[in-house]
Amino acid sequence: MKKILVWSIYTRVFHLLAMVLMLSLYLSSDEDRWLSIHASLGYAIGVLFLGRIVWGFLDIPYSKFKDFSFKIADLKTYMLSVFGAKKSYIGHNPASSYAIVGMMVLLFLSIVTGALAYGAQEGMGIASFLNHTWFAKMKLFKEVHEFFANALMFLIFAHIAGALLDRLLHSKLILRSMVDGYKEGEGASVSLNFFQKIFGFFWLGATITTLIYLLASPNALLLADNNPRVDYAKVHPAFAKECGSCHMLYPPFLLPKASWDEMMASLDDHFGDDASLETVTMQSIKAFLDDNSAEHSTKESAVYMLSRLKNDTMPNSITQTSFWKKRHHGIEKVALNDPKIGKTSNCKACHPMIEQGSINDRDIKG
Angle between the 279-291 and 257-264 helix axes, to the nearest 10 degrees?
170
CA distance 214 to 37: 8
Other Cβ atoms within 10 Å of 330 Cβ, number:
7
Give the model confidence (pLDDT) of 150-172 as tens digits. 999 999 998 888 777 766 665 55
CA distance 97 to 92: 6
DSSP conformation letters of 38-101:
HHHHHHHHHHHHHHHHHHTTS--TTTSGGGS---HHHHHHHHHTTTS-----SS--HHHHHHHH
H or E element that contains 292: none
Predicted confidence at residue 172, as pLDDT, reads 56
CA distance 32 to 336: 23
Cross-strand partners of 357: none
Give the model confidence (pLDDT) of 113-150 as tens digits. 999 999 988 889 999 888 876 665 667 888 999 999 99
Answer for the pair 94, 71: CB distance below 8 angstroms, yes or no. Answer: yes
Alpha carbon distances (Å) from 364 to 121, 147, 242, 358: 17, 27, 27, 10
Name the residue with higher pLDDT: 160 or 205: 205
| pLDDT class of 107 with cuts at 50, 70, 90 | very high
| pLDDT class of 10 with cuts at 50, 70, 90 | very high
- The percent of residues above 70 in pLDDT, for the chain, comes to 92
Closest CA to 152 of 194, 192, 113, 117: 113
Answer for the pair 14, 204: CB distance below 8 angstroms, yes or no. Answer: yes
Residues 6+ apart with CB under 8 A from 69: 75, 89, 92, 93, 94, 97
Give the model confidence (pLDDT) of 299-319 as tens digits. 888 888 888 876 556 777 888
Mean pLDDT across the stretch 77-95? Answer: 73
Closest CA to 133 of 294, 20, 345: 294
Alpha carbon distances (Å) from 199 to 64, 178, 185, 234, 314: 14, 20, 28, 54, 60
Predicted confidence at residue 24, as pLDDT, reads 96
278-292 burial, b if ≥16 CB within 10 A, otherwise e?
A: eeeebebbbebbbeb
Residue 70 has pLDDT above 80, yes or no: yes
Predicted confidence at residue 222, as pLDDT, reads 95
Bridge-based pairing state of the strands 182-185 and 2-5: antiparallel
CA distance 145 to 139: 10
H or E element that contains 288: helix 279-291
